[in-house]
Amino acid sequence: MSYTIISNDSQSAARAGILSTDHGQIETPVFMPVGTAGTVKAVYHRDLESDIKARIILGNTYHLYLRPGLEILKGAGGIHKFSSWNKPVLTDSGGYQVYSLSDTRKLREDGVVFRSHIDGSKHVFTPESVMDIQRIIGGDIMMAFDECTPFPCDYNYAEKSLKLTHRWLDRCIKHFDAQDPLYGYHQKLFPIVQGSVYRDLRTQSAETIAEYNREGNAIGGLSVGEPTEVMYEMTELVCGILPQDKPRYLMGVGTPANILEGIALGVDMFDCVMPTRNARNGMLFTQNGILNMRNEKWKDDFGPIDEAGTSFVDHQYSKAYLRHLFISKEILGAMIASEHNLAFYLWLVDEARKHIIEGDYLQWKNNMVKQVSQRL
């Protein structure tokens, strides 16, 4: 895997690049649709590839480990073959589940004891076992096992958690480097910066992670409820420390505006459930703003879903029809909205890339942030 920067923006930290993997090249900045359980919910792989133009998708260690389980994944020959997705995959480590499933897990030095949310059974995740599991899942990019700290989070806990995450990182790297991939293509490991909302902890973490000099680096523990300005502040701080020549991945972010701001701060990769989850709940993101498709005002709007949209769904279906589908709780509504939102997100990062290369990113971004944040 290699990362090549094509263009650096002169007015911001934004850059355009190409990340190469054995399953293909990823032009950055990029948005990675989330496919937790081996599926980007409600979207065909066919559409993900040709209509949405997804360049890489996510899978989740915790969820795939519980279902279908390692035997099946191994038997299938990894997640690409199992799900018939031949482009790159990034697997999250389960560190987010340490946060989101905090009611059903116990944190220890060695690792985390989880209670399965499916059947209550007990499972232990250690940095080593999480590396092994991600080898079996077979993602092109694997993530270090960390604790995503909650917000708010007091300083003492944030510091303690950060140190644990760093010790785990060291174990992840040692174990990862001692193992070969199982399916004949390369896998890379990205470490994750933590440190909550504290500048000194973030600095310390970013410096620690920079020293490992891995193929890419991630920023975690943000977009968990902290003020947006704090998220930007931490991102800027960390991007200033992480290696310039390696891709930076801001985990779990975010809204279209968050992504555009993140790019300006030097982030190359994003993922978020928002375009898919919110789509299933009736929310559409467009370059002109946000729509709640359940709202009564769309009931007789027979115009296209999004005149400026790049997906076929934008022109094939009307707002009135899509509203009807949501009001009627028809599955097709979730499918159309998910496809639209993802196509929009991919369009957005693609436009960002063009403007970085053309040299007017900042100006374009400032205008676009205003547009996409409007409520329609």
Catalytic residues: 92, 271
Quote the least distance from Cβ 365 to RNA, whole Å. Answer: 17
Given a contact cutoff of 8 angstroms between Cβ atoms, the answer to whether 216 and 248 are in contact is yes
How many Å apart are CA 26 and CA 240, to the nearest integer? Answer: 23
**Min. distance of Cβ 42 from RNA in angstroms?**
7
Least distance (Å) from RNA to the CB of residue 62? 7
Q: Tell me if 320 sits within 8 A of 301, measured CB to CB.
A: yes
DSSP states along 262-283: HHHTT--EEEESHHHHHHHTTE
Per the DSSP assignment, residues forming a β-bridge with 190 are 143
CA distance 221 to 225: 10
Q: Where are the alpha helices (DSSP H) in the chain?
A: 45-50, 61-66, 70-76, 79-83, 95-100, 127-137, 155-178, 199-212, 228-239, 256-264, 274-280, 312-316, 319-327, 331-358, 361-372
Task: Tell me if residue 27 falls in helix, strand or coil.
Answer: strand
| Distance in angstroms (rounded) separating the CA atoms of residues 70 and 74 | 6
Closer residue to RNA (CB): 52 or 148: 148
Q: Which is nearer to RNA, 303 or 359 (CB)?
A: 303
Q: Are 298 and 319 in contact (CB under 8 A)?
A: yes
Q: How far is the CB of 91 from RNA (least distance, A)?
A: 9
Q: Is the distance from CB of 56 to CB of 140 less than 8 angstroms?
A: yes
Nearest CB to RNA, comparing residues 21 and 223: 223
Residue 43 or 136: which CB sits closer to RNA? Answer: 43
Angle at 230 (CA atoms; ends 212, 371), nearest 5 degrees: 110
Q: What is the token pair recorded at 209?
A: 């992670």
- 185: tokens are 């293509």
Task: Using CB under 7 A, list all residues that contact RNA.
Answer: 34, 36, 40-41, 58, 60, 63, 92-93, 95-97, 99-101, 103-104, 117, 143-144, 146, 148, 192, 218, 220-221, 223-225, 228, 251-255, 258, 271-274, 276-278, 280-283, 292, 294-297, 299, 327, 329, 331, 334, 375
| Cβ closest to RNA, residue 138 vs residue 282 | 282
Taking CA atoms, 248 is separated from 136, 143, 173, 347, 366, in Å, by 25, 13, 18, 20, 22
Max distance between CA atoms of the chain, in angstroms, equals 61
**Residue nearer to RNA on the CB measure, 225 or 240:** 225
Residue 143 Cβ vs RNA, minimum distance, rounded to whole Å: 5
- Cβ count near 285 (within 10 Å): 24
**Nearest residue (CB) to RNA, 104 versus 310:** 104
Q: How far is the CB of 21 from RNA (least distance, A)?
A: 18
343: which 2 tokens?
């196509």
Minimal distance, residue 67 CB to RNA, in Å: 11
